[in-house]
A and B are shown apart, each in its own frame.
Chain A
Amino acid sequence: MDALDGNAIGGLLHEIFGMEMTAATGTCANCGAVGPVAETVVYLQAPGTVMRCRSCTAVLMVVVRRAGVNCVDLSGMAALEPTAA
């Protein structure tokens, strides 16, 4: 399975955060790179959904759906700032 990007999980992120997040700005906790969520590297079948930093490949976010609940690990992000609507 090829790597996609953050655009591919716009719906999932909207479901989790309750708002549009592909244009949000994320900061990698590992290397400090800052950029839009849409430009991250995303694997849909990892298993679960895995988002990685395009600069250093560190894991930024993992989403696993269990029993209808999205379990979200955001510990790879130092910051995640939605853009003003």
Chain B
Amino acid sequence: MAGTAVRGRLTWQVATVGAVVDETPAVRTIELDVPDWAGHRAGQHLDVRLTADDGYVAERSYSLASAPGEPVAITVERLPDGEVSPYLADDLRAGDEIEIRGPIGGYFVWPWQEIVSPLLLVAGGSGVVPFRSILRHRADLGSTTPTRLLYSARSLEDVIYRAELDVVRNGLEVIYTLTRQQPPSWPGRAGRVNDAMLREIAWLPSQRPIAYVCGPTAFVETVATGLVGLGYPADRVKTERFGGMGGG
């Protein structure tokens, strides 16, 4: 341990806000210019630290929205009672500086050790953010790994990255389910993800798929339990929970 302690040092540094893109009325993507960025893997995070004038410090973890090799970007959903997200989603402007550290995490990352395993991505709300990184990375690699993204959102207006997700890509299927409101003659699915929907959409366990599930805690519990019930080994269902509504 002693010899490796310095290897992965994680230090706070100042990042400069670049382009800011509104994704939905409540969500925006923030590009960050980070002077000393070691490069990241698809699915990793960074931490944001905000310090108030009185010295109060708030830290939150955000999934990286960009693929490896792309400029660092996070996608933030504004939570009405959040400590950090309203500042990031409303007040931050290009040229502003914020403290960050990263990249962080080595569990919820893709590629996994078996790159050819069919990939099932299940997102609830802004849980889709790490999957944008994974799908962009998959495209960059020229991967044809059979991939399904099941994305649960409240309404079509709440779907993040829709224009990008609707681009047809080799071996990729994107399935939306809208839980609260569907447009007239909506051809997609409606309602929350449940066992029946998983049974229709998930790869068969015999195909040795690997599943990534990201979203609010209750959503992740439902999906992960459902997949294990379908026969997915628990160690092939990777989960990431961000609480009641979002990351704060």
Partner-B contacts on A (CB < 8 A): 1-11, 14-15, 18-20, 22-23, 36-39, 83, 85
Shortest CB–CB separation between residue B227 and chain A, in angstroms?
14
User: How far apart sit A39 and B212, CA to CA, in the bound complex (Å)?
Assistant: 12
Interface residue stretch chosen among B99-107, B135-143, B162-170, B184-192: B99-107
Are A3 and B107 in contact, with the CB atoms below 8 A? Answer: no
**A36→B4 CA distance, assembly (Å):** 20
Interchain CB contact under 8 A, A22 and B106 = yes
20 A-B pairs in the complex with CB atoms less than 8 angstroms apart: A2-B243, A3-B217, A3-B241, A4-B241, A5-B239, A5-B241, A7-B240, A8-B241, A8-B242, A10-B45, A10-B61, A10-B106, A11-B10, A18-B5, A37-B107, A38-B105, A38-B107, A39-B107, A85-B4, A85-B8
In the bound complex, do residue A38 and residue B47 qualify as a contact, i.e. CB atoms below 8 Å apart? no
The tally of residues in B whose CB lies under 8 Å from a CB in A reads 29
A11 and B10 CA atoms in complex are apart in Å by: 8
Is B7's CB under 8 angstroms from A85's CB?
yes
Q: Which B residues fall within an 8 A CB radius of A?
A: 4-10, 45-47, 59, 61, 101-102, 104-108, 216-218, 238-244
Instruction: List 6 additional contacts besides A38-B107, A38-B239; criterion CB under 8 Å.
Output: A3-B241, A9-B61, A18-B5, A18-B6, A18-B9, A22-B106
Q: Of all chain A residues, which has the CB nearest B61?
A: A8
Report A-chain residues with C-beta under 8 Å of the C-beta of B105. 7, 10, 20, 22-23, 38
A7 surroundings in chain B (CB, below 8 A):
45, 61, 105, 107-108, 240-241
B9 to chain A: which residues have CB within 8 Å? 18
Chain B residues contacting A85 (CB-CB under 8 Å) are 4, 7-8
Within 8 Å by CB of A4, from B4, B46, B47, B243, lies B243
Residues of B within 8 A of A36 (CB): 107
Q: Give the distance in Å from the alpha carbon of A1 to the alpha carbon of B81 in the complex.
A: 12
Closest-CB distance, B248 to chain A (whole angstroms): 9
Q: How far is the CB of B246 from chain A (nearest CB, A)?
A: 11
**Residue pair B61, A11 in contact (C-beta under 8 Å):** yes
Ranked 10 nearest A-B pairs via Cβ: A38-B107, A11-B47, A18-B5, A10-B104, A20-B106, A23-B106, A22-B107, A23-B107, A2-B243, A10-B105
